Structure 1
Amino acid sequence: MERTTRYSKKREAILTALRQTDAHPSAEWLYQTLKVTHPDLSLGTVYRNLLFFQQQGTVQSVGVVNGQERFDADTTPHSHFVCTCCGAVIDLPKIPMDANLNQAVQSQYGFQVERHELTFYGKCKTCMQSKHFEEDVLS
């Protein structure tokens, strides 16, 4: 028997907050942001709803950055850049996703590839311009 999903103001608020930012937030960030307007919101509710959204295909995980899983409401295939200094996660929509890569992996290794993700790691422009980064480079 299939379970029906009831409407929830908190669930709607979590998804709306996620869709209104390009910061690729963590559950903790969403919780802190929404706690002001939803004082009875729990961190567990945020985690459960993020899992629900992932299972529905509404949200995707971008991976763990600085110990926190980060989420993206844009589920279209696109690449990301993760700053190893400040933890920013930035969409790279202009980097083309290579469909031939899926076929190459299938041919070479015999896997059935459904999709792939491409993530770049390094220092963002802001961190490169900061004094902290300059000191790291000089030492």
Structure 2
Amino acid sequence: MDSRLELALTKLKSTGVRMTPQRHAILAYLIDTMCHPTADDIYKALEPRFPSMSVATVYNNLKVFIEVGLVREMNYGDQSSRFDADMTDHYHAHCERCGGMFDFDYPPLAEVERAASEQTGFIVTGHRLEIYGICPNCADITKH
């Protein structure tokens, strides 16, 4: 079992969250994927293994994971929320054609938070950096 999954399961158990097969599968899927899925993506991926699972089950479990601090929800206006189990500081590139979201490494911009706090008086709790463009797969499609 992946060590990230083991740590996440331990954290869930320590908060008193009961482990169900569906909850385990949703968490494992989120930890194993790099695609930042929507709740519907998760449902579609797991529905063959859990035919009685509903989209509501996925949403309810995602809410639990967010509350415990295992998953972050990324809202993008009117589009569906996407979910990320990588809780480290990292940034995202977002494809304007397919909607794909990809992680990229860049040093955390702590100075931006500091400047925002100094200039606005905010108690800064975090920030999000997103790059928009066309992913390599979509760019290939347009070349043909």
TM-score by length of 1: 0.86
Match of 1:116 in 2: 127
Question: Counterparts of 2:59 and 2:122 in 1: how far apart (Å)?
Answer: 32
**Which amino acid letter does the alignment assign opposite residue 109 of structure 1?**
T
**By how many angstroms is 1:62 displaced?**
2.6
C-alpha RMSD of the superposition: 1.9
Which residues of 2 match residues 77-92 of structure 1 at below 5 A? Answer: 77-92=89-104
Structure 2 matches for 1:100-115, cutoff 5 A?
100-115=111-126
Tell me the secondary structure at the aligned position of residue 86 of structure 2: coil
Partner Cα distance (2:77, 2:139) in 1: 19
Structure showing greater radius of gyration is: 1
Distance (whole Å) between structure 1 residues aligned to residue 109 and residue 19 of structure 2: 38
Q: Distance in 2 between matches of 1:21 and 1:32?
A: 14
Q: 2:26 aligns with which of 7, 10, 14?
A: 14
Q: What is the aligned-residue identity percentage?
A: 36
Greater Cα offset, 57-66 or 80-89: 57-66
- The size of the alignment, in residue pairs, is 130
Any runs of at least 4 consecutive aligned residues in structure 1 with deviations exceeding 4 A, and if so which?
A: none
User: 1:35–1:65: structure 2 CA closer, same or farther, 3 Å change rule?
Assistant: farther
**What secondary structure sits across from 1:69 in the alignment?**
strand
For structure 1, which runs of at least 5 residues remain unmatched after alignment?
none
Counterpart pick for 1:55 among 56, 59, 67: 67
- Note the residue ranges of structure 2 that are not aligned, 5 or more in a row: 1-14
1:97 aligns with 2:95: no
Instruction: Return the offset for 1:68.
Output: 1.6
- Equivalent of 1:28, from 33, 40, 43? 40
